[in-house]
Homo-oligomer: A and B are copies of this chain.
Amino acid sequence: MYVTLVHVHVVADRVDDFMKATKVNHEHSVQEPGCLRFDVLRDPDDGTRFILYEAYKTPEDAAAHKQTRHYELWRDTVANWMAQPRRGEPMLGVCPNHCKTDE
């Protein structure tokens, strides 16, 4: 499982617009065949901060996401709403992929 945590900081007066655009992106992304999770999380202490938790079966599946129409639409839609540049944090899934305790 190939995960990216995308840390997003949105300008305050565009949070509602950002959430609407990101929900559309979520709905399409979870239908990608290689997508395992596409969770949208909001900071309970600062509603302008979000994490997109994106998990794919393979690195190729993750890369393919960025070629989709819905990703490109989201990227262009939210471009001017960022309070600072997004930061992608790559992580490798240990579980649930490889959970043999007798390894």
Query: Interface of A with B (CB < 8 Å)?
Result: 1, 3, 5, 19-20, 22-24, 26-27, 30, 37-44, 50-51, 53, 55, 90-96, 99-101, 103
Contact = CB atoms under 8 A, between A and B. Distances in A.
Number of copies: 2
Contact of A94 (B40, B55, B94, B103): B40
A22 B95 CA distance: 9
Contacts of A44: 90-92
The 8 tightest CB contacts between A and B, nearest first, are A41-B91, A40-B95, A26-B95, A40-B94, A42-B92, A23-B99, A23-B101, A44-B92
Among A20, A96, A100, max chain B CB count under 10 A is at A96
A33 to B, nearest CB: 17
A6 to B, nearest CB: 13
